[in-house]
Structure 1
Amino acid sequence: MAEGTKQILAKPIQLADQVSKSAGSAQTNKQECLELKARADKLATLLRQAARAELYERPARRIMDDTEQVLDKALGLVYRCRNRVLVHRLFSITPGAAFSKMFIQIDNSVADVSWLLRVSAPAGDDDGLLHGLCPIAQNEPILTLIWSNIATLHTGHSDARSEAAAALVSLACDNQHFAKLIIEEDGVAPLLRLLKEGKAEGQENAARALGLLGRDRESVDCLVAAGVCSAFGKVLKDGPMKVQAVVAWAVAELAANNSKCQDVFAKNNVVRLLVGHLAFETIQEHSKYSVPSKAMSIHSVVLANKAAASDSSFDDAKDRCLLPHPEGQSKSYQFHSVVQSTVASAKVSRLALNSNSVTSTTAPWKPQQHSLSGSGNRAREMEDRSTKAKMKAMAAKALWQLARGNADICRNLTESRALLCFAVLLEKGTGDVRHNSAMALMEITRVAEHNADLRRSAFKPNSPACKAVIDQLLHIVEKGEHDDLLVPSVTALGCLSRTFRATESRVIAPLVRLLDETEATVMSEAVAALTKFACTENYLHVNHSQAIIEAGGARHLIQLVYLGEQVQVEALVLLCYIAMHVPDSQELADAEVLNTLSWASKQAHLVQDWRADELLPEAKARLELYQMRKL
């Protein structure tokens, strides 16, 4: 409701008074003019009543513009009926149909203004959401429903506002055009107010509606400009967990439709808060920002450092084995050790920081010792299991979309406990949380593939979190079950190809086995991942190429080059890399790879790809140099 809408009422009121006065002094069509005067008086009364009310601006402007046009026409009609000389009367006869049409138009204006007063008035406890059909919106009746619900968000009581938000959710779900109309009709501001001030159910409906409104880049820009990012950040910090889960989903929706909002969410601490929700009851001491009590003595700090140092020395001994695990240890024990070593290393850094500032009276930042939820740790722990699971799933989904193509957010995630959380959830989670965690890891590794600094800092071979992530990705790939985890896991391993050392032998064989899959998507991703291992840009391309051959990859690739259809070109590119890097391989000679490359060079649809066109001649030349052609 805006005060500025009252200014647009002045002219319609003035016109209505002029129509009434002129109609009263008409000399012709007196009966029709008297009826027109009665209608004009009724409209003027409603307009004056509207001038004293707080009006919903969007429909008010449209209704007043239309009413002004109708009164202009009515005034012109009445002027033709005023006292004139006889000649003018003879040549300016006003037909009765003109008055009938004008009566209908003024009645419609009366109905429009009456409807505007109803929707703008504060709603009572028994007031419904429907206020009738607004004649001005008869060409688009859904607009009346949108206006009614937005007006209820402004003036309704708590339950009515919640129902209005739910109605907008239904409208936004049905049609993208309806979602755009809700934004255009100023529905974002009252939804944000409901999200901040409403009850839990109303907050859920408001958050869901806001998530559905951001269907495209322009709509997301409007939502961000209205302050949706800061509002979501406050709810993720202080709101009930059920509402926080819906807000996390909405964050994912907005970030998926417009990557520009990623940094804005990060500035409003949304990333940090989501990591906290993801880590809650996932790993111990999950809060990266927690600071021990200042009352801790230096002696206890030294003891803690000694204990952590002993743990880290044990981890260093394990790290010498690199990614392969020692024999005789179960996977669950190994994974538990990884988690414990990661937590211990984080303890060292935090305790060292506090030992340096133990005499300080103020911390360099505000300690985050309490729960990210306003209800506290105990309230979060008392939430039902399904709510906690949904919260984790939606937090993982939001982080997946926020990390997509954003190096800064990926760096924040890898410097926090997010990587370890994703690894734990991949092992112990179920349903959506596993899928969303796998997709988040895929996006982080995609960014790391092209960002050397991020790759070196986050995915060092001796990093416990990195080990945990790779263990879980490999476990999924080794199972080879075609589910929603397999493809992102294969993609992630391919993106991490430059982080593996020459002694690593666990990764290649499972990827090669996927070349015999029946699903084209899986085969395509496996070929793409192996290409990243064998391409010239990979420093260890010779070692990896030899490992692919030893795992039986040549035979599978030859079959894909001949019969692969959707993966023919990708398989040919990988085969060319292997032939270039290991041309003296007996396995390649036995598999007659040279004949395959010669056949491929004569296939127009294969050499049209610039990669195959560049690699084929060199691969053939190197094979001819080391092997005898088999005719």
Structure 2
Amino acid sequence: MMGDGVKQILARPIQLADQVTKLADGANSFRAECQELKAKTERLATLLRQAARAELYERATRRIMDDTERALDKALALVVKCRATGIMKRVLTIIPAGAFRKTSVGIDSSIGDVSWLLRVSAAGDEDGDTHLGLPPIAQNEPILCLIWEQIATLHNGSLDARADAAAGLLSLARDNERYGKLIIEEDGVGPLLRLVKEGPADGQESAARAIGLLGRDPESVEQMVLAGASSVFAKVLKDGPMKVQAVVAWAISELAANHQKCQEVFAQNNVVRLLVGHLAFETVQEHSKYSIHPKLTSTHSVVVNAGVAPSVESSSPTTMFHHPKGSQASRNQMHNVVQSVIVAKRQGVLFPLIPSTNAANGSHPHNSVSGGKGRELEDPATKAHMKAMAARALFQLARGNSAICKSITESKGLLCLAVLLEKGDDDVRYNSAMALMGIARVAEENADLRRSAFKPTSPAARTVFDQLLRVVENAEHSDLLVPCINALGCLSRTFRATETRIIAPLVRLLDDREFIVMREVLVGLTKFACTENYLHLDHSRAILNAGGAKHLVQLIYFGEQAAQIAALVLLSYVALHVPESEDLAQAEALAVLEWASKQAFMTQEAMLDVLLPEAKARLELYQSRGSRSCH
């Protein structure tokens, strides 16, 4: 708003106006026109001095002062010509017809623009319903002045007026992508973020939603991040009302979706931990057996009985507890607890991050992510929406980012997502499935993450596998099936040979399924059967034992082109690894591969260039034409 820079912008127009006023009195020709110009310039100078004492919106001030300077320069040139005498008068006073009229119109326009600027800068002191009208500068781009008006209100208005202005900018950003660009260019992001940080709840929601809509491309997202969006959002996620927190989580998901580089900035501002805390609220207490290591169960109960809650803020084991003021026995007890934790951490055991439940009074102590002291009193719909948006944000933040995935999996995040996939409502389940899929995709490419987060012996990992498999077995919700199948495929290298329950439910989905689900199943099963998977022989046999051969043959002959190719890839891997299979002989797999090798669109597929001939050769070696003919 008003600062030294804005005052400097006003200095030259004021000087020009004073010069025009002074020189107009000495005009030797066109005196009447000069006096009329003087009167209008004096009025403009008065308005400019009022503006110099006001709090102005800088972007609008710069644009208007540029036009005002041009109008005053033309006026000054005219009055200088009218002051000439003698020979110079005859030479210099050749003034084109209509010059005074055009100059006068320019001054009138500047008067209108500066008057509007003063009104819009003082709009916060007026009722929100007051219509300010459009200034002359708006003739070419009326929407720009509407944006200026809303941003100026965000700077100077009352809290209610600022909330209304945020809603107005939200509407503009939603309606048109170009309007969103203008809001960013006209410095609307800063005041929107201030409103998110300190406004009333409805204003915070509108402003946060506007920020999410404005971040449509990497360049725009960078503007949000540079303006401090990450720290503001972190503060709201920690202390704001839950409805506002849900919108902030949605906005984070939008920014991260449109520019992955912002993931690190959000992580540095503790956003990931805060989002996991929202997932954990009223989610994991009843599943504490998954998150409390057996070696620490007794230690945890001692802490709870002593009335001390563990803190996740400190990385030092000796500062994880606050010693209560009490007897020497209590202090000795706490010393023993700390020593136990130190030993446990040296052995690689993580202390539980989940807040405990006080069984004596049934209350839930607040964890570090308070989200407002009364969040237990929020209605169930708001709590569910908060979890859905937190999972949505975590999915986008974790996408392709191993460090953030590790942060989620090393906390209670993985368990929370699995529990919510089972017990949440539709949106919560879908976003939890997407988040699990995103983490699984990173784990597929990152062996360290795969080994640490998805060890078969890990209770949290077992819960994830159970819930993913339950969705696949039920096969009721197509929107859940796709991410769950994708996640199982990405985690294919984590399953042991004794884990035999995964393949059959996936194979069953090849029968009479919509294309998008069928495609995911084919891709997922291929990850189990491909040569890169250490257990490809076991998985290939499991696919055949589940009746996969006949499904694959039908898809290769009669499926859509993309399904045909995916099915052919899978069948080729299975044939390559277990060519002696009787199931392949009965399904006439060799005939299928021979037919496929003559189809141009199949042989041109890069993946099949080597794989198909090798699989065909293996089948020919193990299955004679005589044995095939008898079937």
Decide: shared fold, TM above 0.5: yes
Contact 1:165–1:209 at 8 Å: present in 2 too?
A: yes
1:449 aligned to which of 429, 444, 463: 444
- Which residue identity is paired with 1:24? D
TM-score (normalised: structure 2)? 0.86
What residue is the counterpart of 2:455 in the other structure? 460
Following the alignment from structure 1 to structure 2, what is the Cα–Cα distance between the partners of residues 434 and 302? 31
CA pair 374-618 structure 1, distance change in 2 beyond 3 A? closer
Following the alignment from structure 1 to structure 2, what is the Cα–Cα distance between the partners of residues 406 and 610? 29
Superposition map of 1:264-413 within 5 A: 264-284=265-285, 301=299, 355-356=340-341, 370-372=366-368, 374=370, 379-413=374-408
Following the alignment from structure 1 to structure 2, what is the Cα–Cα distance between the partners of residues 235 and 593? 60
1:541 aligned to which of 536, 542, 551: 536
What residue is the counterpart of 1:557 in the other structure? 552
What residue is the counterpart of 2:316 in the other structure? none
CA pair 550-242 structure 1, distance change in 2 beyond 3 A? same
What residue is the counterpart of 1:335 in the other structure? none
Structure 1 residue 134: deviation in Å? 2.3
Alignment of 1:500 onto 2:500: no
Q: Deviations over 1:468-494 (max 9, x none)?
A: 111111111112235210100110111
Identify which range, 74-83 or 43-52, moves more after superposition: 74-83
Following the alignment from structure 2 to structure 1, what is the Cα–Cα distance between the partners of residues 225 and 234? 12
What residue is the counterpart of 1:321 in the other structure? none
- Which residue identity is paired with 1:132? G
Contact 1:286–1:417 at 8 Å: present in 2 too?
A: no
What residue is the counterpart of 2:320 in the other structure? none
SS of residue paired to 1:516:
coil
Q: Deviations over 1:578-625 (max 9, x none)?
A: 110011111111211111111211222111111111101111111111
- Which residue identity is paired with 1:82? R
CA pair 492-197 structure 1, distance change in 2 beyond 3 A? same
Alignment of 1:229 onto 2:225: no
Structure 1 residue 80: deviation in Å? 2.8
Alignment of 1:479 onto 2:474: yes
- Which residue identity is paired with 2:514? E
What residue is the counterpart of 1:180 in the other structure? 181
Alignment of 1:440 onto 2:435: yes
What residue is the counterpart of 2:328 in the other structure? none
What residue is the counterpart of 1:77 in the other structure? 78
Structure 1 residue 124: deviation in Å? 1.9
Identify which range, 163-172 or 132-141, moves more after superposition: 132-141
What residue is the counterpart of 1:170 in the other structure? 171
Following the alignment from structure 1 to structure 2, what is the Cα–Cα distance between the partners of residues 90 and 484? 82
Alignment of 1:99 onto 2:110: no
Structure 1 residue 22: deviation in Å? 2.6
- Which residue identity is paired with 2:98? A
What residue is the counterpart of 2:596 in the other structure? 600
Identify which range, 496-505 or 215-224, moves more after superposition: 496-505
What residue is the counterpart of 1:610 in the other structure? 606
Structure 1 residue 79: deviation in Å? 2.6
Structure 1 residue 56: deviation in Å? 1.0
SS of residue paired to 1:484:
helix
Identify which range, 9-18 or 272-281, moves more after superposition: 9-18
Q: Deviations over 1:219-268 (max 9, x none)?
A: 11011111110111111111111111111111111111111111111111
For structure 1, which runs of at least 5 residues remain unmatched after alignment?
Answer: 292-297, 306-349, 359-363
What residue is the counterpart of 1:2 in the other structure? 2
Following the alignment from structure 1 to structure 2, what is the Cα–Cα distance between the partners of residues 248 and 450? 27
Contact 1:238–1:372 at 8 Å: present in 2 too?
A: no
What residue is the counterpart of 1:196 in the other structure? 197
Q: Deviations over 1:162-190 (max 9, x none)?
A: 11111111111111111111111111111
- Which residue identity is paired with 1:262? Q
Contact 1:60–1:116 at 8 Å: present in 2 too?
A: yes
Q: Deviations over 1:115-168 (max 9, x none)?
A: 111122362252546422122232111111111111111111111111111111
- Which residue identity is paired with 1:75? L
Identify which range, 86-95 or 212-221, moves more after superposition: 86-95
Structure 1 residue 367: deviation in Å? 12
Contact 1:158–1:199 at 8 Å: present in 2 too?
A: yes
Identify which range, 165-174 or 86-95, moves more after superposition: 86-95
Q: How many residue pairs align between the two structures? A: 574
Following the alignment from structure 2 to structure 1, what is the Cα–Cα distance between the partners of residues 117 and 367? 46
Structure 1 residue 29: deviation in Å? 2.1
**Identity across matched positions, percent:** 65
CA pair 266-22 structure 1, distance change in 2 beyond 3 A? same
CA pair 599-548 structure 1, distance change in 2 beyond 3 A? same
- Which residue identity is paired with 1:427? E
Q: Deviations over 1:58-99 (max 9, x none)?
A: 111111111111111122222332333368537853244222
Contact 1:236–1:372 at 8 Å: present in 2 too?
A: no
Following the alignment from structure 2 to structure 1, what is the Cα–Cα distance between the partners of residues 337 and 443? 29
What residue is the counterpart of 2:319 in the other structure? none
- Which residue identity is paired with 1:467? R
SS of residue paired to 1:242:
helix
What residue is the counterpart of 2:582 in the other structure? 586
What residue is the counterpart of 2:57 in the other structure? 56
SS of residue paired to 1:517:
coil
Following the alignment from structure 2 to structure 1, what is the Cα–Cα distance between the partners of residues 48 and 118? 9
SS of residue paired to 1:60:
helix
What residue is the counterpart of 1:309 in the other structure? none
Contact 2:23–2:79 at 8 Å: present in 1 too?
A: yes
Contact 1:280–1:286 at 8 Å: present in 2 too?
A: no
Contact 1:242–1:387 at 8 Å: present in 2 too?
A: yes
Contact 1:15–1:72 at 8 Å: present in 2 too?
A: yes
Structure 1 residue 449: deviation in Å? 0.7
Following the alignment from structure 1 to structure 2, what is the Cα–Cα distance between the partners of residues 142 and 410? 43
What residue is the counterpart of 1:67 in the other structure? 68
Identify which range, 90-99 or 594-603, moves more after superposition: 90-99
Following the alignment from structure 1 to structure 2, what is the Cα–Cα distance between the partners of residues 418 and 357? 24
Structure 1 residue 43: deviation in Å? 1.0
What residue is the counterpart of 1:429 in the other structure? 424
Following the alignment from structure 2 to structure 1, what is the Cα–Cα distance between the partners of residues 96 and 607? 80
Following the alignment from structure 1 to structure 2, what is the Cα–Cα distance between the partners of residues 465 and 421? 9
TM-score (normalised: structure 1)? 0.86
SS of residue paired to 1:485:
helix
Structure 1 residue 576: deviation in Å? 0.8
CA pair 2-438 structure 1, distance change in 2 beyond 3 A? same
What residue is the counterpart of 1:626 in the other structure? 622
Contact 1:558–1:596 at 8 Å: present in 2 too?
A: yes
Alignment of 1:256 onto 2:239: no
SS of residue paired to 2:607:
helix
